[in-house]
Structure 1
């Protein structure tokens, strides 16, 4: 059983070091092969959670086996509990909050409603264009559609009425 503990501990530690140093390269090389680990139905099944739990299982098993007089079954149960606690803690304290965060702290689409923008690519009545919105200290280009269902030419100032499905729905600000 000690070999299993060592395997989980060393394997998890190696995975952590390799993913820290070469994670992006490996991720691009595999092209999403491991994406099945984070299925929508089971978001807790991801490499961070699983490997963290396995590493804790191995480390706890080694420590309990060597430094306590507990029996094999008790060591195994405590090691499994340690792995579940560490994996679950990693999920609830790191993975879940990070999955709910946005990619950029400078822009939140929810905060764009009511802001003034300028059309940089004309917006057809039943299609999409592009607007330039001031966001913080900079500007950002966003996909936009006409809220009123009318053509909006380039260069016109618009107000963002709502944001739905990553699209800004805008209306003309300056009447013609």
Structure 2
């Protein structure tokens, strides 16, 4: 069977190459289309076309089935694989990206450990651990006090990427 004066194998192969090239372009320049909304997801559309055209080409080249039946089978295969891609890879990735983010305001009140000593009127480094990983941030004493390495500290304030901390061990002993 012919379509547009070409065999269906050629049409499927051209669609495969064009969608593959579009995927490469999307990987390079995809930020331009990020604001398109939820209903137009270029990743899923391009994956559907690529998988469908690859399946269609293989069935046309290596089977003697009817071309309409091959088109239907290719669309079903592409839909199942694309749905799996969305369900098991894209949705979890988008959720994981959001869970790793933090703001300076969310660091207030957290407990950290000094990994580089903080001198009087100077800067050191504090390590904060949470479920998604570790964060190391520059820090200075809240009351301009010196804090030794290995001391647990309470983050009182965070401004411009710098944590203002006070010794947590002393506050805990005093009943604060």
TM-score normalised per structure 2: 0.54
Aligned length: 130
2:79 corresponds to: 84
2:142 corresponds to: 155
Distance 2:72 2:80 in 1: 12
Gaps of at least 5 residues in structure 1 are 118-131, 142-153, 161-172
Helix, strand or coil for the counterpart of 2:127? strand
Distance 1:76 1:99 in 2: 32
Which runs of 4 or more aligned residues in structure 1 lie more than 4 Å from their structure 2 counterparts after TM superposition? 111-114, 156-160, 173-176
Distance 2:54 2:61 in 1: 11
1:10 corresponds to: 17
Query: Does the 8 Å CA contact 2:51/2:78 hold for their aligned counterparts?
Result: yes
Aligned-pair CA distance for 1:36: 4.1
Distance 1:36 1:65 in 2: 37
1:34 corresponds to: 33
2:92 corresponds to: 97
Query: Alpha-carbon deviations, 1:113-153, whole Å to 9, x = none?
Result: 86237xxxxxxxxxxxxxx9632465248xxxxxxxxxxxx
Distance 1:138 1:88 in 2: 35
Counterparts in 2 of 1:25-174, with a 5 A limit? 26-27=29-30, 32-37=31-36, 39-40=37-38, 42=39, 45-102=40-97, 115-116=110-111, 134-136=127-129, 138-140=135-137, 155=142, 157-158=154-155
Aligned-pair CA distance for 1:64: 1.0
RMSD of aligned residue pairs (Cα, Å): 4.3
Aligned-pair CA distance for 1:108: 6.3
Helix, strand or coil for the counterpart of 1:69? coil
Going from structure 1 to structure 2, the CA distance change for 1:101 and 1:138 (only over 3 Å counts) comes to closer
